[in-house]
Chains A and B, each alone.
Chain A
Amino acid sequence: MTIDLQALVQPDRVHKRVYTDPAIFELEMDRVFGQAWLYVGHESQVPNTGDYFTTRLGREPVVMVRHTDGEVHVMYNRCPHKGAKIVPDGSGSAGKFLRCLYHGWTFKCDGSLLSVPLRSGYEDTRLDLKDPQYSVRKVARVASHRGFVFASLSADGPELGEFLGGVATSLDNFCDRAPDGEVEVAGGVQRVIQRNNWKIFFENLHDTIHAVATHESSWRAAKEEFESMPAGTPKPFEVVIVDGNGEPLDFWEKLELKGYDRGHGFMEGIFVPPTDPVSRAYVAALEASQGAARADEILRVNRHNTIVYPSCSPHTSFQQIRVIRPLSVDRTLVEIFSFRLKGAPEATFQRTLKYTNIVNSPSSNVMPDDLEAYNRVQEGLTSDGGDWVSMHRAAGRDQALPGGRASNGNSEMPARNMFAAWASYMGVRAGDAE
């Protein structure tokens, strides 16, 4: 049965099947995840020769490895002999060579074939060990933006910088916030399984209007907690980051949302830069390194979630990246990586971990109600109660930007923007996001 994709996507609404049809999920793996630049990981995850880190790009298992010349390679985690995954899932060190467990074929850390046992047995056969097909296959394209490694499974398409467009500034600010101008992954990876289509998660990242409703239990609990403290107590960091979801709708209305071509975007920061001792010590370290004027310029870039469609969401002011990995049409894995700002006081990193523990971890006090909402959406969309999902709010009111569009904080522009990109990847046209 062929799928009429064109009939499923309109500029201001989409058909429920795009979230529920396993056949469409398979097409997405080919056309969206098979074309876009996808976040692989950060170079600091493979600091030394032979260090590796495995992940998946769409449905493809890949490994990121540091070669002897210092370059980082991304290749399929598959031996060209019998097909075994060469390194185990996770991260570690392979030493100077990658050696397949099954028959001992050995490869340099750039994937090129180094040796095979019983080489003489291949003489006069059709197998030519000099043929590159007997090296580990590299993914089509790999590029790094300030240490953030991206790969594309397609040889064609825009360069990474052009692909990122306006959200490159979020990755830049992520690093600029480090007094030494660099960041590194540290402190472990949290992993959350969600029972929803991956697009529902992305749409929620810039959906401001759900916060006050969905998160009522957590923002009320935080407010009550603060009210129970002695008068004059400074509001603890833990309360600030949880009760923020309880701001009224006119607060969110005033926030700026930006959408860029290819589905990216960011949302203005929802927190006033904190003035607690940890934050002040961090600002002092940044000013000492960069000068007060430059430090001020860096900190003025105040963003909540950024969307790098369709693979990750960096949070620049609390130093983490969530990587979104679709598992099936109704299951999604979100991996949360925390980063250390090089040159910043240790307490800054500990605050990053506090943020991830409280807001993003599986035990978060905030996220379970999001997951409940996603789950009810996913279940509801499989019903005959209706065919369409609305993205009408503030449609037609966006302001044009070079390479994108801007809207006020309560607009559903980000969802329309992502679906315009989705349609383009899938080979159809959703019309203009406006």
Chain B
Amino acid sequence: MNFSNWQEQQEISGFLFHEARLLDEHRWDEWQRLFTPDGLYWVPLVHGQADHLNHASLFCEDALLRSMRARRLDQARAYSQQPATRTVHVLGNVALESRSDTGCMVRSAFMLLEWRKTEQRAFGGSVLHTLEREGGEWRIRMKRIDLVNCDAPHEALQVFM
């Protein structure tokens, strides 16, 4: 499925780029407000994972858990954030997956560079955003991130991807 026009593509890509920037700048409150009240942030543990309730995940966070994580990252005594994790997201291959009455599903590819203390890590994969129109603004009902190495052993993953 294609975007209906250049403007629609620009608008949705712009939304995704804005979301990535909020994460890279640790603007957690603004980022959380992008979600619908029942919105889910989900990083599956295995490829093709169909279910976040009956299978463990890397991240599976509703509004409560996203808020707890954001609060923790900002605590003065979050020792594993001394220094804070720094990231940069690069998004591309933005494509419309499907359309509904209230919104759309958009797939993109992403690369994430992460730096903390002495180590640089790279993550990458595809992201599926389920977006809804609410009062003229886009909102995220689901952000699903499929890492190419989701099933690898990982060191701690602390910040939102």
Question: Do A and B make up one complex?
Answer: yes
> B-contacting residues of A (Cβ < 8 Å)?
186-195, 214, 216-218, 220-222, 224-225, 228, 236, 238-239, 242, 333, 336, 338, 346, 349-350, 353, 356-358, 361-365, 367-369, 371-373
Contact A369 B155 (CB under 8 A): no
Is the C-beta of B67 less than 8 angstroms from some C-beta in chain A? yes
The 6 closest A-B pairs by CB, nearest first: A217-B78, A191-B153, A221-B71, A217-B75, A368-B80, A372-B80
> How many whole Å from B147's CB to the nearest CB in chain A?
11
Contact A363 B77 (CB under 8 A): no
CB-CB nearest in chain A for B160: A363
Q: Using Cβ atoms and an 8 Å threshold, which residues of chain B touch A214?
A: 79
Q: What 13 new A-B contacts, CB under 8 Å, besides A242-B68, A350-B54?
A: A193-B153, A194-B155, A218-B68, A222-B68, A225-B67, A228-B67, A238-B64, A357-B60, A361-B58, A363-B156, A368-B158, A369-B80, A371-B80
Q: Using Cβ atoms and an 8 Å threshold, which residues of chain A touch B60?
A: 357
- Residue with the greatest number of chain A CB neighbours at <10 A, chosen from B60, B68, B81, B158: B68
Contact B80 A338 (CB under 8 A): no
With contacts A217-B78, A217-B79 known, is A236 near B64, CB below 8 A? yes
Contact B156 A346 (CB under 8 A): no
Quick one: which of B56-76 are within 8 Å of A by CB? 56-60, 64-65, 67-69, 71-72, 75
Is the C-beta of B152 less than 8 angstroms from some C-beta in chain A? yes
Quick one: which of B12-40 are within 8 Å of A by CB? none
Contact A188 B65 (CB under 8 A): no
Q: Using Cβ atoms and an 8 Å threshold, which residues of chain A touch B59?
A: 357, 361, 363
> How many whole Å from B146's CB to the nearest CB in chain A?
15
CB-CB nearest in chain B for A228: B67
Contact A220 B75 (CB under 8 A): yes
Give complex CA distance A410, B75 in Å: 26
Contact B153 A192 (CB under 8 A): yes
Q: Using Cβ atoms and an 8 Å threshold, which residues of chain B touch A194?
A: 155
Contact B155 A362 (CB under 8 A): yes
Q: Using Cβ atoms and an 8 Å threshold, which residues of chain B touch A369?
A: 78-80
Contact A353 B65 (CB under 8 A): no
Give complex CA distance A187, B54 in Å: 6
> How many whole Å from A12's CB to the nearest CB in chain B?
27
Contact B154 A192 (CB under 8 A): yes
CB-CB nearest in chain B for A364: B156
With contacts A188-B55, A353-B53 known, is A221 near B157, CB below 8 A? no
> How many whole Å from B37's CB to the nearest CB in chain A?
14
Contact A365 B68 (CB under 8 A): yes
Chain B interface residue count, Cβ-Cβ cutoff 8 angstroms: 33
Contact A225 B155 (CB under 8 A): no
Contact A191 B152 (CB under 8 A): yes
Q: Using Cβ atoms and an 8 Å threshold, which residues of chain A touch B156?
A: 192, 362-364, 367-368, 371
Is the C-beta of B45 less than 8 angstroms from some C-beta in chain A? yes
Contact B157 A365 (CB under 8 A): no
Give complex CA distance A335, B158 in Å: 18
Residue in A193, A218, A228, A349 whose beta carbon sits within 8 Å of that of B72 in the complex? A218
Contact A353 B77 (CB under 8 A): no
CB-CB nearest in chain A for B155: A193
Give complex CA distance A362, B46 in Å: 14
> How many whole Å from A46's CB to the nearest CB in chain B?
19
Give complex CA distance A350, B55 in Å: 8
Contact B155 A195 (CB under 8 A): yes
Contact B155 A358 (CB under 8 A): no
CB-CB nearest in chain A for B77: A216
CB-CB nearest in chain B for A366: B72
Give complex CA distance A336, B45 in Å: 12
Q: Using Cβ atoms and an 8 Å threshold, which residues of chain A touch B153?
A: 191-193, 333
Q: Using Cβ atoms and an 8 Å threshold, which residues of chain B touch A367?
A: 156
